[in-house]
Amino acid sequence: MWIFLACLAGAFALYLGALLLLRPSRPPLVAVAALAVAIQLAPLAAPLLLSTDAWTYWEYGEIAVGEGNPYRDVPTEFPDNPAYDHAGFAWRDSISVYGPAFTLGSELVARAVGSSPDAAAWTFKVLAALGMLAMTGLAAALARDRVAAAALVGWNPLFAIHFAGGGHNDSLMLALVLGALALAASGRRAAAGAAWALAILVKWIPLVFFAVRAVEARASGRRVGHAGFAIAVGLVGALAFWRFGLDWLRAFGPLARNAEGQTSYALPHRLEQLGLPGDIALALAVVILVSGLAVLAREARRGRVRLGRAGCLLLATTPWLAPWYAVWALPLAAAEGDRKAQLVALGFCVYLLPQTIL
pLDDT in tens, 186-233: 999 999 999 999 999 999 999 999 999 999 999 988 888 889 999 999
pLDDT of residue 175: 98
Q: What is the value of pTM for the model shown? A: 0.94
Within the chain, residue ranges assigned H as helices are: 2-25, 29-41, 53-65, 100-113, 117-142, 146-154, 157-162, 170-185, 189-202, 206-220, 226-244, 252-260, 267-273, 278-301, 307-317, 330-336, 339-352
- pLDDT reading at 242 higher than 70: yes
Nearest to 41 by CA among 159, 172, 152, 177: 159
pLDDT of residue 66: 85
pLDDT band at 245 (very low <50, low <70, confident <90, very high): very high
With helix as H, strand as E and coil as C, how does 132-143 read? HHHHHHHHHHHC
Q: Is the dihedral angle over the CA atoms 326, 331, 334, 338 positive or is it negative?
A: negative
pLDDT band at 114 (very low <50, low <70, confident <90, very high): very high
Would 256 be classed as within a structural domain?
yes
Would 259 be classed as within a structural domain?
yes
d(CA 163, CA 61): 19
Would 358 be classed as within a structural domain?
no
What's the number of domains the chain is made of? 1
Would 357 be classed as within a structural domain?
no
- pLDDT reading at 255 higher than 60: no
- pLDDT reading at 358 higher than 70: no
Mean pLDDT score of the chain, rounded to an integer? 93
Nearest to 166 by CA among 199, 130, 122, 136: 122
d(CA 257, CA 183): 35
Per cent of the chain over pLDDT 70 is 96
d(CA 146, CA 152): 10
- pLDDT reading at 258 higher than 80: no
Structural domain boundaries enclosing 75: 2-352
Amino acid at residue number 172 = L
